Amino acid sequence: MAYIHLDGVSKQYGSVWAVDRVNMAIEKHEFVSLLGPSGSGKTTLLRIIAGLERPTTGRVLIDGEDVTELPPHKRGVAMVFQEFLLFPHRTVYENLAFPLRMLKLPKGEIEARVEWVVGILALRGLEKRYPNQLSGGQQQRVALGRGLVGRPKVLLLDEPLANLDRELRQEMEVEIRKHQTDLGIPFIYVTHNQEEALSMSDRIAVVRGGRIEDFASRTDIYDRPKTAFIAQFVGRSNRFTGTAATAGGTISLSGDGVRIETATRPGIADGERVAAYVKNEKVRLRPASAGGAGAANTLAATVRYVILRGAYAEYVLGWSGGELVASRPRSEAEFTEGAEVVACWDAADVDLFPAPEDGR
């Protein structure tokens, strides 16, 4: 059996199912992210694992034990929140020692555990400082340390980096992943930030409407989306709609003024209304003078805006069907605003799904 097992877990508030029949199996050494938009149910799911919410139906098992009815402090879990929640009038040492004193551990054990956390989180020399004397990253390390000092079976993290600036957030992503690997315990991380989920996770559970759209490796979630929602939510994609025509092992999508071809996909019927997604970085550009516009998976466009994003340039293109975005390395030939170009992509880079009923 998996180290953590959610068996048909649901949570109902009035007439709303915040979590709806979730089944998940998480192994002991995994870093798992619950990724989804606000209100999708991911934090409720985390709180159910923590014991802060009781499921309406289903069971939670940790290390082979049914903990559904156990309170948080008897589950062997710890939780790190978005707010640091440090005691402002206590030093770093006192903040770290506090949960151990609540457990009435011997003084020597408390000192040993705090020393261990101070060492692994690079907090040495800061033990006598107060939270207002620390940087944001240092405060986050203390908050993380307070979760780890009890040596939990599982660490749960609820958007702990949301209040940090981008550079510091990226540094902490590396640190958190390193600590999870070194400790060898499962981390379950809630976020709406796909970059965080993709940078740290072994597997990602995409949550929507209280349900799991897919639970797979980060590469599968990004490169092989299972649903139209995932294709649209994870990564930045261009979307085309039209009617499918199936023949000879390929599907041709005619609509939006462009012809898209890709391999046949299960569940796509001839004449069906479909949506095709092509990630921004899969769109290549060449000068219009090179020709080729009008072939499958190509279109003629004009560069409207150029947005620099470090080593990449993001080209916002205007074409007869609206706008298209191409993200290209700046080491390639650069195009200026107003340039006439041909945008193209490979058939293998098209993710095709039945068009959502809501039209999005």
Per-residue pLDDT, 321: 84
User: Is 141 strand, coil or helix?
Assistant: helix
pLDDT at 192 over 50: yes
Per-residue pLDDT, 268: 83
The most confident of the ranges 22-36, 74-88, 265-279 is 22-36
pLDDT at 243 over 70: yes
Per-residue pLDDT, 105: 92
Distance CA 169, CA 215 (A): 25
The residue written with tokens 């938009």 in the block is 37
**Closest by CA position to 32, among listed 149, 172, 174, 155:** 155
Please answer whether residues 67 and 75 qualify as being in contact, where contact means their C-beta atoms are separated by less than 8 angstroms: yes
pLDDT in tens, 131-151: 999 988 899 889 999 999 999
Distance CA 262, CA 249 (A): 9
Per-residue pLDDT, 359: 45
Per-residue pLDDT, 357: 61
The residue written with tokens 């315990």 in the block is 185
Tell me how many degrees the CA angle 140-188-5 measures, rounded to the nearest 5: 155
For residue 174, what are its two tokens? Answer: 């590396």
Sorted by sequence, the CB contacts under 8 Å of residue 246 that are 6+ apart come out as 252, 264, 268, 269, 270
Sorted by sequence, the CB contacts under 8 Å of residue 132 that are 6+ apart come out as 88
For residue 325, what are its two tokens? Answer: 């975005």
Sorted by where each starts, the structural domains of the chain and their CATH numbers stand as 4-229 (3.40.50.300), 236-354 (2.40.50.100)
Distance CA 142, CA 117 (A): 9
The most confident of the ranges 45-59, 245-259, 279-293 is 45-59
Per-residue pLDDT, 56: 97
pLDDT at 17 over 50: yes
User: Is 192 strand, coil or helix?
Assistant: coil
The residue written with tokens 């809630």 in the block is 190
Predicted model pTM: 0.89
pLDDT at 360 over 60: no
| Per-residue pLDDT band at 248 (split at 50, 70, 90) | low
Dihedral angle, C-alpha 162, 165, 169, 170, nearest 10 °: 140
Say what percent of the chain tops pLDDT 70: 97
Mean pLDDT of 25-51: 96
For residue 214, what are its two tokens? Answer: 């897919």
Greater confidence (216 vs 293) lies with 216
Distance CA 235, CA 225 (A): 10
pLDDT in tens, 102-123: 889 999 999 999 999 999 888 9
| Per-residue pLDDT band at 255 (split at 50, 70, 90) | low
Q: Please list the residues that pair with 109 across neighbouring strands.
A: none
Mean pLDDT of 309-332: 93
pLDDT at 200 over 60: yes
Query: What burial class does residue 105 get, using C-beta atoms within 10 Å of its C-beta: 0-12 exposed, 13-18 middle, 19+ buried?
Result: middle
Q: Which range is least confidently modeled, 55-69, 153-167, 207-221, 252-266? A: 252-266
pLDDT in tens, 68-89: 999 998 999 999 988 878 999 9
Per-residue pLDDT, 328: 95
pLDDT in tens, 202-228: 999 999 999 999 999 999 999 999 999
Mean pLDDT of 316-329: 93
Please provide the DSSP assignment of 90-138 as one string: S-HHHHHHHHHHHTT--HHHHHHHHHHHHHHTT-TT-TT--GGGS-HHH
Query: What burial class does residue 31 get, using C-beta atoms within 10 Å of its C-beta: 0-12 exposed, 13-18 middle, 19+ buried?
Result: buried
pLDDT at 358 over 60: no
Mean pLDDT of 21-48: 96
Distance CA 94, CA 111 (A): 11
Cα distances (Å, whole numbers) of residue 54 to 20, 49, 71, 160, 186: 13, 9, 9, 23, 21
Q: What is the mean pLDDT of the chain?
A: 91
